[in-house]
Copies of this chain bind each other. A is one copy, B any other.
Amino acid sequence: MNNIITKLFDIKHPIVQAGMVWNSGWKLASAASNSGILGLIGAGSMYPNILREHIQKCAAATNKPFGVNVPLLYPNIEEIMQIIVDEGVKIVFTSAGNPNVWAHWLKEHGITVIHVVSSVKFAQKAELAGVDAVVAEGFEAGGHNGREETTTLALIPMVCKAVSIPVIAAGGIATGRGMLAAMILGAQGVQIGSRFVASTESSAHQAFKNAVVAAQDGATQLTLKELTPARLLKNKFYDDLIELYQTKPTTEELKALLGRGRAKKGMFEGDLEEGELEIGQIAGFIDEVLPVSTIVENIVNEFNIASRELSNLTLE
């Protein structure tokens, strides 16, 4: 397939491996890029010097294009962006913030800029800010999420109607069938997160990967709407959060419970009780940890089988 997304990133398949905190280091990103999709390093969980190291190792491990995801709500953004430019990264995905501040500067440095949005309004703002494409991410996605709670199935057609730049669908997609469904709705590519958490090359702790595989329908919940909404795997920390919610907590009390390092503790160190475990609803459909190359192969095969089926689907 040769389309506007494969051309934009110079990749084989219009698939992006999401840049996820504590999951997407150079091993995952380079494995993704080497499999013909776009690999992204997740800068959100990295100190600037760690990010530099991951970019350098990723560049050494693949000669294919890769990018960096930068959540704009994290600190040290100036330093992070300077490192990205200095290290010659050509593709940046910004998320969780206003793209206006950075899109122009990054593009002046010759960088392709994509912004992650959760609503029509934010997609239009991103287009006005001059980004090259948007990732439109539905309510079912893991991690940080939109307040409108619009699902991928509803969001994609609305965003595609509202903007002229390419739309990459995210949230609830882990298979070739999910990818084809998103493209039927008008997306020109997909971003896949949860499926790559449960990959051999993800830097997630093995215990977290196992928890993703074990997760069933109903295992996650969008919460922390007063701070930044996040979809979490239900565990003891989540139960503590729900108990605190019963007392009608202030934002400060929520922040105090959340504390520091919860996401690292859960996803990177494997503390399934006290850690914050960010994952999408589609975890309920993922039942095996696989190498990235196998995941991509499976998606390609499923996509082709499903698209062949379409030629027989006609309403008369």
- Interface residues, chain A, with chain B CB atoms under 8 Å away: 1, 12-13, 119-121, 138-140, 147-155, 157-158, 161, 171-173, 175-178, 180-186, 216-218, 221-222, 248, 280-282, 284-285, 299-300, 303-304, 306-316
Q: Which residues of B contact A300 (CB under 8 A)?
A: 315-316
Partner of A154, one of B147, B172, B307: B172
Known: A140-B150, A180-B310, A181-B182; 13 extra A-B contacts, CB below 8 A, are A1-B313, A120-B217, A121-B217, A138-B153, A139-B139, A150-B218, A151-B171, A157-B177, A157-B178, A161-B285, A248-B248, A307-B312, A307-B314
Which B-chain residue is minimally distant from A296 (CB atoms)? B315
Q: Report how far A311 CA is from B1 CA in the complex, Å.
A: 12
Q: Which residues of B contact A222 (CB under 8 A)?
A: 149
> Lowest 7 CB-CB distances: which A-B pairs, in order?
A148-B218, A153-B172, A181-B181, A311-B311, A154-B281, A151-B151, A120-B217
Copies of this polypeptide in the complex: 2
Q: Report how far A222 CA is from B149 CA in the complex, Å.
A: 9
User: 13 A-B residue contacts at CB 8 Å?
Assistant: A119-B218, A140-B151, A140-B154, A150-B217, A151-B152, A153-B178, A153-B181, A154-B172, A178-B185, A180-B184, A181-B184, A299-B315, A307-B314
Does A151 lie within 8 Å of B138, measured CB to CB?
A: yes
Does B308 lie within 8 Å of A311, measured CB to CB?
A: yes
Q: Report how far A110 CA is from B66 CA in the complex, Å.
A: 60
Does A285 lie within 8 Å of B153, measured CB to CB?
A: no
Q: Which residues of B contact A1 (CB under 8 A)?
A: 313-316
Does B175 lie within 8 Å of A157, measured CB to CB?
A: yes
Q: Which residues of B contact A150 (CB under 8 A)?
A: 140, 217-218, 281, 284
Q: Which residues of B contact A120 (CB under 8 A)?
A: 216-218, 284
Interface centre among A1, A173, A280, by most B CB within 10 Å? Answer: A1
Interface centre among A186, A284, A308, by most B CB within 10 Å? Answer: A284
Q: Which residues of B contact A313 (CB under 8 A)?
A: 1, 180, 183, 303, 307
User: In the complex, how many angstroms separate the beta carbon of A257 from the nearest chain B beta carbon?
Assistant: 18
Does B152 lie within 8 Å of A217, measured CB to CB?
A: no
Q: Do A172 and B151 contact each other (CB < 8 Å), given the known contacts A177-B157, A217-B158, A314-B307?
A: yes
Which B-chain residue is minimally distant from A284 (CB atoms)? B158
Q: Which residues of B contact A149 (CB under 8 A)?
A: 139, 221-222
